[in-house]
Amino acid sequence: MNNLVEKFNEYGHWRDNVRLALQRYRDGVQEFDLSDAATEQRMQQAIARLADDKLSIAFVAEFSRGKSELINSIFFAGYGQRIVPTSAGRTTMCPTELLYDETFPPSIRLLPIETRAEAQSTSDFKGQNHQWTVLPLDTTSADGMLEAFKQVGMTKRVPVEEAVRYGLYDAQDDDAGMTVDIDGTVEISQWRHAIVNFPHPLLKQGLVIVDTPGLNAIGTEPELTLNLIPNAHAVLFILAADAGVTKSDIDIWRNHIGNSGSGRMVVLNKIDSMWDELSTSEQIDSQIAAQVSSVAQTLSLSEQQIFPVSAQKGLVGKINHDQALLTRSRLPVLETALSTELLPARQEIIRSQLQSEINAMTSSRLALLSSRSRNVVEQLMELKSLRGKNRTILEHMMTRIDLEKREFDGSLFKLQATRSVFARLSAEVFSHLGMAVLKQNVILTREAMEKSRFSAGLRQAVRDFFEKTLHSIQKSSQKTDEIGEMMSVMYRKFSTEHALALSAPMPFSLEKYVKEIEMIEQIYQKQFNATAIMTTPQVVLMQKFFDSIASRVRQCMLQANRDVETWLKVVMAPLEAQIGEHKNQLKRRRKSLEKIHEATDSLEEKVQVFEQMQLELDTQRVALMRLENDLHAAILAPLAGYKAAA
């Protein structure tokens, strides 16, 4: 088992332990009758986040850099042969995702290239199963899997006009004419996208491998530029050790990878081409070090981010159990760096997301339990103070409770007015953030793009789209801020006037969605920042990019809508839970006094009952705090071999 596989397994165990601790806490909350709809929803979301957690690694390179061989050597050496096809020239013609989804059988799903003629992105098509060609994947046969994987390299020849319609041929490109056959056809990929559903141990743990074609596909397939590469947790940019950094490599790095986030590594592959039998090992190491230094300088990186390897020799070393060859390939160094870079960073993201949710949830449950305990203590003290008191005193105490109830009911009447304002502001949030607004914005933008074939008009239409989208989020944000401030006032009112144990309401911000929309716009600007008039293929490509932009923004806005909806459900939940608890306690106190008023001999029995209730609540508090501590310990537990997060 290599280091990367081992660390992925540890990461999977960490997630499993957190999920079990969360389920135990959930069981305890339900057992102690502390659950409500909002708490249950947050529990389910936290558990779902752990279950759906994915870690994406994108492999990016021009063709003939050994990218497919590197994937084989890191992930599939255990099969004893190559699984991802490798040969001279192009072997990956379309973007390919390797993942595992238990809802589908092992298979290769292929999206026909003809879908590029439609105004939908690859992400849009992922929900349309009928659009995909599905081939079964026999995981028991390595040869059968190899044959199935070859589908991603399939091509076909089409007329130039058809290739232009797909945005895959630019007549203004001097090199494009060389690809036209004597019959006026050009070679294109048969497929637009491939998804390989494969029950590999790492893929079962949530790993997603993204195998990308070369520069041409990265520049023409918006799904790669806008989604798969920017969202990857790690990007391995593969160069050839003998060639170093070529012009096309620099284009890919500068336009699509270099500044797109953390977890970016450069792999200097095929160092075995420098293993000269006439040179000493020291001389070879010196040559490799010089190439590493040159690449680091060209790409403005530190040498620690450059990993010289021989994927082919590493694969052979693993299959033949040749440890010396594997060590010489330097592949284990890359695997260790990859696990060290990727997994703790991903764990910290999930950890911080869970901590913020769970802290709010556990504090509200403890507050509710504390409120119950405080009320029991107050009633117990009240009952004990009645020993030897006459009926007049009892009547006076019942009158005082009635007065307290009337005051509380008055506050509830004011709360009802707040609920009306809450409902109005909530409706206003969705009037700006709702999907109907975005849909209309997309339609108007497409119409504007179709009317204008000049570069300035096309770019202005897309700029207007982003401006309107950001304006919608900002207007919604103003309304959520108003709701948050209103709820803070109401929380303070009930805490002060009725001694309810309430902390500040759960905060909320749409800022992360503003940043995501701005990031999408930056990618678009980088892709289409030229001032020259566009050719017809470039116009087609720009329209395809807008289709993907609209899809990506739609996903962002859908998630924003879900988050707002969830927040609106939970922001009032602690207050309502405390109000319900306080109302019940007032009723119970009044009822207890009435019974004692009618039969004073039941006083001692009542005292005993409340003493038992106090004991049970103290026991529940200890148990709940233990479950909470266990949950936090599971979340904060570091992966083996890594230092715990501060």
- pLDDT at position 444 is 92
* Integer angstrom CA distances of residue 619 from 266, 370, 432, 613, 616: 56, 12, 48, 10, 5
Kindly state the percentage of the chain with pLDDT values over 70: 89
Structure tokens that stand for 425 in this block: 């502001």
- 355 Cβ neighbours under 8 A, 6+ residues apart: 632, 635
Residue 244 has pLDDT above 80, yes or no: yes
Task: State the average pLDDT over residues 517-531.
Answer: 78
CA 68/CA 86 separation, integer angstroms: 6
Q: In this predicted model, which residue has the larger pLDDT, 576 or 110?
A: 110
pLDDT band at 599 (very low <50, low <70, confident <90, very high): low
How many angstroms separate the CA atoms of 11 and 13, rounded? 5
Average pLDDT over residues 202-215: 84
pLDDT band per the 50, 70, 90 thresholds, residue 646:
very low
**Residue 132: per-residue pLDDT:** 95
Average pLDDT on 7-35 reads 90
Q: What backbone phi and psi angles, to 5 degrees, belong to 107?
A: -165, 170
pLDDT at position 210 over 50: yes
Over residues 188-206, the pLDDT tens digits come to 889 999 999 988 888 888 8
Kindly tell me if the per-residue pLDDT of 238 is higher than 60: yes
Q: With bands split at pLDDT 50, 70 and 90, how would you rate the model's confidence at 394?
A: low
Confidence at residue 67, expressed as pLDDT on a 0 to 100 scale: 87
In sequence order, what DSSP letters do the residues of 432-485 get, joined into one string? Answer: HHSHHHHHHHHHHHHHHHHH--SHHHHHHHHHHHHHHHHHHHHHHHHHHHHHHH
Q: Contact 109/133 with Cβ under 8 angstroms?
A: yes
Query: What is the reported pLDDT for 24?
Result: 94
Contacts of 45 (CB under 8 A, 6+ apart): 357, 566
Residue 220, class by beta-carbon neighbours within 10 Å (0-12 exposed, 13-18 middle, 19+ buried)?
buried
Q: What is the mean pLDDT of residues 13-21?
A: 92
For 124-147, write each residue's pLDDT tens digit: 898 898 999 999 888 888 778 878
Q: What is the pLDDT of residue 94?
A: 84
Mean pLDDT of 370-381: 81
> Which of 204-218, 296-310, 563-577 ranks highest by mean pLDDT?
296-310
Q: Are 89 and 150 within 8 A, CB to CB?
A: no
Give the angle 40-568-413 at the CA atoms, nearest 5°: 100
Q: What is the pLDDT of residues 541-597, one digit of tens each?
A: 788 888 888 988 998 999 999 889 888 888 887 787 778 777 777 777 777 767 666
Q: How far is 223 from 220, CA to CA, in rounded Å?
A: 9
Report d(CA 573, CA 569) in Å as an integer.
7
Confidence bin at 536 (pLDDT 50/70/90): low
Compute the mean pLDDT over every residue in the chain, rounded to the nearest whole number: 83
pLDDT in tens, 436-475: 999 999 999 988 888 876 667 788 889 999 999 999 999 9
- Residue 534: per-residue pLDDT: 58
Compute the average pLDDT of residues 334-348: 84
User: Phi and psi at residue 351, in whole multiples of 5°?
Assistant: -60, -45
pLDDT band for position 645 (cuts 50, 70, 90) = very low
Minimum mean pLDDT among 59-73, 131-145, 489-503: which range? 489-503
